[in-house]
Each structure stands twice: as C-alpha cells, then as structure tokens.
Structure 1
Amino acid sequence: MSTEWRTERVERLRDLINRAEPAVVEEAKWKKASNPDGVPTFSADGLVCTVETYKDKVKVTFAKGASLEDPTGIFNASLDAGTRRAVDTFEGEELDEDAFVALVREAVALNRA
C-alpha cells in the first residue's frame, strides 16, 4: 500500500475494529505476487471481517454480514450475497464510525453465540 488516503483509511478502520473488540486477532492472509502484503483479516471466535484496498476504494467485508442488523444502512456493497456484506469507502467520504463499531461488535457477538 502506498502512503495515501487508502493507507490512512485502513489504519483508521484497524483502530475502529480494535476499539470495537480489543481481543480481535489480525492476520495477513492470501499473499500473492500482486499483493505481497496479503489481506488483513480480523478474527474473534471466527472471522469477523477483511479489509481490502482497491484503486478507488477500501472495502471491509463482513464474513457473516447478511446475518447482521444494519439499522443505519452502513452496508453498501455485496448486498445480494448470501452470507457476506461489505462497506465500501471512498476518498473524501465520511464513515459513520459509531455505526461501524456497532457492526463489528455485532459480528463478534454473532461469532460467540
């Protein structure tokens, strides 16, 4: 990742995920030539979410997102997927941090249920 808005966004998302669940475990998975750093994954009693960078966005995919309540409508991608849901964030866009933290907490609770 280059030092630009996407890097800053990933760091902020990481901070929010850790605020939501201090016991979360972060690992880099799926390393390959085109992405030698791999994909950050966050787990707490199972996979909670992944964070991926693309040219125009940073995507947070919740492994069991379709089973989560989303009263604020923060999910805006993968809405037709059977199991997962995602939050795509774009440069200059504000993220509802409270809603994001609540979503992470709900995902962890679902894993622990």
Structure 2
Amino acid sequence: MQKDGAQGEKSPSELIDARIDELGDWRGETLARLRALIRQAAPGAVETWKWRGVPVWEDAGMICTGETYKAVVKLTFARGAALPDPKKLFNSSLEGNTRRAIDFKEGDTIDADALKALVREAVSLNRSKTKR
C-alpha cells in the first residue's frame, strides 16, 4: 500500500497495523477481521489514514472507514444510503441521506459473505460515478 507524507513516516497500512496492536482486545481483533474482508472483496483498494487516526479504504473514492470506540467498531460506508443491503447489515447512521454504518459489538458475528458483497457494491458504485 502507499505511503503518505515524508520519507521515514509510517504508511497508512502500518498505522492501521499499529492501531490494531495498540487496541489489544476484541476491538483490534474485529478491526483486523473487517480489514481482511475488505481486502478480499476489494483487492485494489488503497488504505489511507485520515482525520488524525481513522483507517479508510478507497477505490475510485471512499469505500468505508473503520472507527473504534469503547463499545463498538464502526464501519461507515461513505455512500451507504445508495447501496443495496439485502442482509440488513446497516444498523447505525440510518437517518442521513448519504452515509450508513455497521456497529459491531463485542461478541457479534460478522456475516463475511454479506459484508464482502456490500464492499463490492460500494466499489462498483464509486467506479460508476468516476466513469461519467
């Protein structure tokens, strides 16, 4: 993955690795699992690090962010309101016209196939908008 900033600084991928390690609990494990699923679904995605500490995955635009809080790991899809969600994964940020999020709590099961399908839909939507 790419490096941002001057030589010697950590790449976004290295910063995400460090965040996962520093959490050292279920949140780090969950973020690592979500990251792996995003990478499987969107192998061309670029990892970035924005807003002073938020992992972001991009492919022809932002796919999603991975924020960690005390009680949840939040995967926010930048254009989630425009994505089909047949498995009803979105359970947070439902009131807006653009974003949608999935809050994962300790012990939650991740529907890997449904999440990867959602990521692929997000990439497809991003790419369709950049071709216009």
Q: Deviations over 1:14-73 (max 9, x none)?
A: 000000010000011111xxxxxx100000000000000000000000000000000010
Q: Report deviation, 1:95.
A: 1.2
Q: Which has the higher helix share?
A: 2
Instruction: In structure 1, list runs of 5 or more residues that go unmatched.
Output: 32-37
Number of aligned residue pairs: give it: 107
Q: 1:89 aligns with which of 104, 124, 130?
A: 104
RCO comparison, higher one (Cα < 8 Å, 6+)? 1
Q: Secondary structure at the match of 1:74?
A: coil
- Tell me the equivalent position of 1:5: 26
Q: Which has the higher strand share?
A: 1
Instruction: In structure 2, list runs of 5 or more residues that go unmatched.
Output: 1-21
- Tell me the equivalent position of 1:73: 88
RMSD of aligned C-alpha atoms?
0.6
**Runs of 4 or more consecutive aligned structure 1 residues displaced over 3 Å after TM superposition:** none
Q: How does 1:2-81 map to 2 (within 5 A)?
A: 2-31=23-52, 38-81=53-96
Give the TM-score normalised by the residue count of structure 2: 0.80
Q: Percent identity?
A: 54
